[in-house]
Amino acid sequence: MNISWVELAFGAMVIIAQGLSFWFIYWLFKKLRKPKPAAAAYAPGTGLDGKAIPVLATFIGLRRVPWVALATNSLNPVFRLDGQQMIYRVLRQKQRLLRDVSRVDMRTAYGTFNLIFEFADSPFTFIVNLGSASRMAYVLSLLPPGIALSERAQAVRMPAAL
């Protein structure tokens, strides 16, 4: 049995290709099993000076059905409190006066911490997923005292702001 150098080189290339394939599958499996990093913690300097508050996603919903979203944005959501107005983006960027907000509610589920802004002149709500309970309490403390909060939202609001 006489093996030429071409057959030997081809066999070596096959073994190397199989090794690289197995290494890639191992690397991909390891990368996919690693949990996503947690959302960044809230920055106490953000809020009423017009800086954006970091959020995970924004939604447009209906007033009486808070868990159903008509539109969502998790790629480039914007939520900003700037003086007496709120700037947000779901489909397109909008700004609303904070006096137009009739009530603020909060909902939590596994991994979601949502604030629900209901507007007096609209059947739609703006929902923002803040990613952590501490950030939700911080944002609630930034809201002016004239905005009506639900009982759940009042319980979560930071005591220093009361």
Domain extents in the chain: 1-36, 49-161
Bridge partners, residue 80, by sequence: 52, 87
**What letter represents residue 30's amino acid?**
K
**What's the rounded Cα separation, in Å, for the pair 92 and 143?**
23
Of 121, 122, 105, give the one whose Cα is nearest residue 113.
105
117 near 109, Cβ under 8 Å?
no
Q: How far apart are CA 131 and CA 57, in angstroms?
A: 9
Q: How confident is the model at residue 5 (pLDDT cuts 50, 70, 90)?
A: confident
Pick among 3.90.1530.10, 2.30.29.30, 2.60.40.1120, 2.60.120.380: CATH of 49-161: 2.30.29.30
pLDDT digits (tens, 9 = 90+) for 16-54: 999 999 999 999 988 888 766 555 444 444 444 556 788
- Report residue 115: phi and psi, to 5°: -105, 135
Residue 144: name the closest of 90, 81, 87 by CA: 81
pLDDT in tens, 82-132: 878 899 999 999 999 999 999 999 999 888 899 999 999 999 999 999 988
Q: pTM for this one? A: 0.67
- 8 A C-beta contact, residue 130 and residue 43: no
